[in-house]
Amino acid sequence: MSEIEAPRIQVRNGLVICYTGDGKGKTTAALGLCVRAAGYHLRTLICQFIKGSWHYGELDGIKRLAPYVELQQKGEGFVGIVDDKKPRDVHRDAALRALADVRADLASGTWQIVILDEIFVGCQLGFLTADDLLGLMRDKPANVHLVMTGRGAPQEVLEAADLVTEMREIKHPFQQGQLAQKGIDF
């Protein structure tokens, strides 16, 4: 049996972890968790909702964690901002397809951690519902950690989760006119 087939540790009590709030650091926290998990040979799947049309540093960085971590961009890009010209239906359909894919991934037995990056934004935009997320939480196998990120997490999801961290913005360089920086913001 290869090292990838037999992780060093087995997950017994998979948690539901939520990173939300208006401050920076939600995706960064989830990526940090996946780096730590790779150190224990846990298999982690990262599904990015909403994100999809831009190039982010994590796309290349995650490749360095193979074969333990895989990142899949499921979204059609940020909705209604900057260069987005796509109809909302295209974004909604991508979110619904991603949700179906995640259900299959959770049931596959391949992953010990599944990170749903920016899934809460999909709820804010009306593409997904709190019930969709509660269903994922209810149906996830007991040996899988489920991590969800994004602004505007539904309250009922936060109440049902095991661990919730809210990022609160206190100060950000953007307020002083500094644009996003590679390696820090994307």
Q: State the 10-residue block means of pLDDT for the chain, 186 residues long.
A: 57 94 95 94 92 73 93 74 70 90 96 96 93 97 97 97 96 80 71
Helix axes 88-107, 130-139, angle to 10 degrees: 10
Q: If residue 58 lies in a helix (H) or strand (E), which one and from where to where?
A: helix 57-63
pTM for this model (two decimals): 0.88
- Token readout for 143 is 């040996």
| Contact call for residues 120 and 19 (beta carbons, < 8 A) | no
Would you kindly state where each structural domain of the chain is located, as residue ranges?
16-167
Sheet arrangement for strand 44-48: 69-73, 44-48, 113-117, 145-149, 16-20, 163-166
| Contact call for residues 14 and 141 (beta carbons, < 8 A) | yes
User: Other C-beta atoms within 10 Å of 167: how many?
Assistant: 17
CATH 3.90.199.10 fits 16-167, yes or no: no
| Contact call for residues 152 and 23 (beta carbons, < 8 A) | no
